[in-house]
């Protein structure tokens, strides 16, 4: 979702600061949420700036390129290994502890499938 324009942000704050409308009325007239209006007022009060703040960067990856290479080599060497066994292999060889689903996602990124045993692992 894109950030609201600086122009809209300025108009929203100006409308509330004029004092002739409530936050609820301003939000409705500009088609934005009340929370957005409150955040803009707080940001304007605290910083004087209404520019959009940067978005968070998300979660960092648990596995590096080195770990992906290690996984690929092990699957090529032992294609019958389960994701749980590959997880254990990663921990033994690289010292990285990850979940079985993380290994499964890593294999998918590598374009590899995994074998399942009878218990569904």
CB 15 within 8 A of CB 29: yes
Determine which of 2-6, 72-76, 88-92, 115-119 has the lowest per-residue pLDDT on average.
Answer: 115-119
Compute CA distances 68 → 9, 30, 97, 103, 111, whole Å. Answer: 44, 49, 14, 9, 11
Taking the C-alpha atoms of residue 106 and residue 110, their distance in angstroms, rounded to an integer, is 6
Angle between helices 6-18 and 23-30 (to 10 degrees): 150
Specify burial of residue 64 (Cβ count, 10 A radius: 0-12, 13-18, 19+): exposed
Specify burial of residue 23 (Cβ count, 10 A radius: 0-12, 13-18, 19+): middle
Tell me the average pLDDT across 38-50.
95
Please report how many Cα atoms fall inside a 13 Å half-sphere around the Cα of residue 28, on the Cβ side: 5
Q: Domain segments of the chain: what residues?
A: 6-47, 65-109
pLDDT confidence of residue 2: 82
Query: Is the model's pLDDT at 117 over the cut of 90?
Result: no
């Amino acid at each position: 979702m894109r950030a609201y324009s600086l122009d809209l942000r300025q108009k929203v704050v100006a409308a509330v600061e004029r004092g002739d409308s409530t936050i609820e009325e301003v939000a409705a007239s500009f088609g934005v949420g009340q929370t957005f209006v409150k955040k803009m007022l707080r940001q304007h009060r605290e910083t004087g700036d209404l520019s959009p703040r940067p978005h968070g960067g998300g979660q960092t990856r648990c596995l590096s390129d080195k770990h992906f290479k290690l996984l690929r080599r092990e699957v090529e060497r032992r294609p019958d290994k389960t994701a749980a066994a590959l997880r254990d292999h990663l921990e033994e060889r690289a010292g990285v502890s990850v979940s079985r689903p993380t290994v499964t996602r890593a294999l998918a990124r590598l374009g590899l499938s995994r074998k399942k045993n009878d218990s569904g692992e």
